[in-house]
Structure formats: C-alpha cells, structure tokens
Amino acid sequence: MKYLQRTFVGCILALTASVANAETISMTYICERGVEVPVIYVNPSHGDDPALAILMAEGQLVRLKQEVSASGARYGWPADGSSYEWWEHQGTAMLNWIDGETDESSPIYRACTPQE
C-alpha cells in the first residue's frame, strides 16, 4: 500500500506542477468496509484557479474541482456528464457517483474519516 501511496503522490505532483505556489494537503481517509481513499487537496495561491481534490477512486486517479456547496467542501466535475463527487463536511467525507442524465447521486464510499 505504501508503494501505491508514493506512486499516487508522484502522479499528483506531476499533475499540479503547473499550479505555482499552490498549497497542497495530503490525507488518507478510511471509509466504510475499511476502504482507503488517498486524497490531495490543492489550494491555488491566486483566486482565478479553483481548488482541487485529487484522489484514487475505484482504481482510477480522479481530479475534481471545488464546487458551490451550502455546507462543507464539495468537489466534482462541472459538466453535463456523469462524474464522481467528493464531499467533505465536519471531518467526515463521502464519495458519490453522479449520473449525468438523471442527476441522481449514488454513494460509493460513506463515513470516510481522516487517518491519524
């Protein structure tokens, strides 16, 4: 698992190299059924670029942009198509799949808490 995490971090650093002076926060969440979800949050230093959450979901590297949320930090992909959604609120997160046609949200991982 540590090899996977190092590979994940290396890929993330390559993806975020173009974001100069960005603050990055690396966390691993433990979700229901013991599933580990490594996440790197990228907070750009200037307001024009959106904050990002880059995570491993179902064996895929997924990049999500921060979206408007009434509460918590919600990340998704602003498009009319289907996409993952990562939602962190008060120390707990969840990963959903958003169906582009119906706009229905299906939970993939719930009760995700940061690993200490």
Give residue 45's pLDDT.
81
Per the listing, tokens 């949320």 go with 69
Q: If the chain, 116 residues long, is cut into consecutive pieces of 10 residues, what is the mean pLDDT of each piece?
A: 54 52 93 96 85 94 91 85 93 95 94 93
Q: From CA 62, how far away is CA 47, in angstroms rounded?
A: 22
Q: For residue 10, what are the CA distances in angstroms to 29, 68, 101?
A: 18, 29, 34
E strand residue ranges, 1-116: 23-30, 36-43, 52-57, 60-67, 73-76, 83-89, 92-98, 105-114
Which residues does 116 contact at the CB level (< 8 Å), separation at least 6? Answer: none
What's the CA gap between 15 and 114, in Å, rounded?
A: 23
What pLDDT does residue 70 have? 83
* Cα–Cα distance, 54 to 63 (Å, whole number): 4
Residue-level pLDDT at 99: 93
CA 14 to CA 63: how far, in whole Å? 13
Q: Does the domain formed by 2-114 have CATH 3.90.226.30?
A: no
Q: Is the pTM of this model over 0.75?
A: yes
